[in-house]
Amino acid sequence: SKSNVYPTCALLKIEGVLSKEDTKFYHGKRVAYVYKAKKEVRNSRFRVMWGKIRRPHGNSGMVRAKFRKNIPPRAFGASCRIMMYPSSI
């Protein structure tokens, strides 16, 4: 069947989050996908793609994150870093 793929939107599984209610803490938090490039820019080979957690996906603790730029297919299944800001506590 036909299915749409949205390259700016990615599904993330957060460790220790098992329900839809647990994901509410992470809404609005920043997500960083860090990868290594061949060319060195500003004395570093590491690059970052930034995103934000938007909403839950399903009932088992998955979340949807929207990235500023399209994330590459190599990033599907790779680990991301979730920053604990901005905080709503």
Whose structure tokens read 């839950």? Answer: 56
Of 45, 44, 48, 54, nearest to 6 (Cα)? Answer: 54
Structure tokens at 74: 């190599």
Please, which pLDDT band fits residue 78 given cuts at 50, 70 and 90?
Answer: very high
pLDDT 10s digits, 17-76? 999 999 999 999 999 999 999 999 999 999 999 999 999 999 999 999 999 998 888 888
Structure tokens at 7: 């390259």
* Residues 42, 43, 49, 53, CA torsion sign: negative
Q: What is the pLDDT of residue 52?
A: 96
Q: How far apart are CA 85 and CA 2, in angstroms?
A: 37
Q: What is the pTM of this model?
A: 0.84
